[in-house]
Amino acid sequence: MPTEFPTQAQCVIIGGGSLGCNIAYHLTKLGMTDVVVLERDKLTSGTTWHAAGEIVPAVLGSEWECELYTYGRNLIAGLEEETGQATGFRQVGYIQPADTPERLEELRRGAAFMRRFGIEMHEITPLEAAERFPVGDFSDTIAAFWYPLEGRTNPVDTTQALARGARSRGAKVIEDVSVRRILTENGRAVGVETDQGRITAEHVVIAAGMWSREIGARAGINLPLQAAEHYYLITEQL
């Protein structure tokens, strides 16, 4: 952690979750060393810590989506080796079942498209799906698609690895700092005001998750974000 609170930076990132640390990681990788990440509590304490951590493509419908997904999966798979920080990534594979003819057609079309951009998948029978996932009920499944390279990561550890990678290239990651407002001049951001002082900056990035809408509104920016509940289940070994 930095010993002195900075007063200026090339880029200030508001939010120390998976997205904020990811942005810092990539900005420093592109050569920007004067980057400051501000987190109001501790890294990942917002919505990142309880994310599912699934590394799966679903059905991608454009070239850039395929490229972005493949890049992200490969990044997370190799992040522990690069940074020395464990990420918890497990390449356990992913199954998408099709229970109606319409869904099967959709998945087959998506599979044909995604294979063109190097995403590996295989159409399998319900029996083969049950062999890979014995606790699943595939009694209504017509066919399924198996993605062998996909899996799950630990969101907290992965974010810490991204932060470590950013720090190793000069970024400052500061916890327990609350951003009160974005400073603006002539319609553009010029820094932030925090509970520990001001930081002037050439660029300000809002990466505060479900709080981004509130932060943006203070600066006159409308961010159409809405928090929503969803559920997932993690079991012990069965």
Instruction: Judge whether residue 17 has pLDDT over 70.
Output: yes
The predicted pLDDT at position 143 comes to 98
C-alpha torsion sign, points 133, 136, 142, 146: negative
Residues spanned by CATH 3.30.9.10 within the chain? 56-152
Residues spanned by CATH 3.50.50.60 within the chain? 8-52+155-218
pLDDT in tens, 38-51: 999 999 999 999 89
pLDDT in tens, 101-112: 999 999 999 999
Query: How far, in Å, CA of 75 to CA of 219, rounded?
Result: 33
Q: Are 46 and 209 in contact (CB under 8 A)?
A: yes
Pairing relationship of beta strands 143-147 and 94-98 according to DSSP bridges: antiparallel
E strand or H helix at 151 = strand 151-152
pLDDT in tens, 124-179: 999 999 999 998 999 999 999 999 999 999 999 999 999 999 999 999 999 999 99
CATH fold of the domain at 56-152: D-Amino Acid Oxidase; Chain A, domain 2 (3.30.9)
Q: CB 138: neighbour CB atoms within 10 A?
A: 19
The predicted pLDDT at position 1 comes to 52
Correct CATH for 8-52+155-218 of 1.10.357.10, 3.40.50.300, 3.50.50.60, 3.40.50.11540: 3.50.50.60
User: Angle, to 10 degrees, between the axis of helix 155-168 and the axis of helix 63-83?
Assistant: 80
State the Rg of the chain over Cα. Answer: 21
φ, ψ at 10 (rounded to 5°): -75, -40
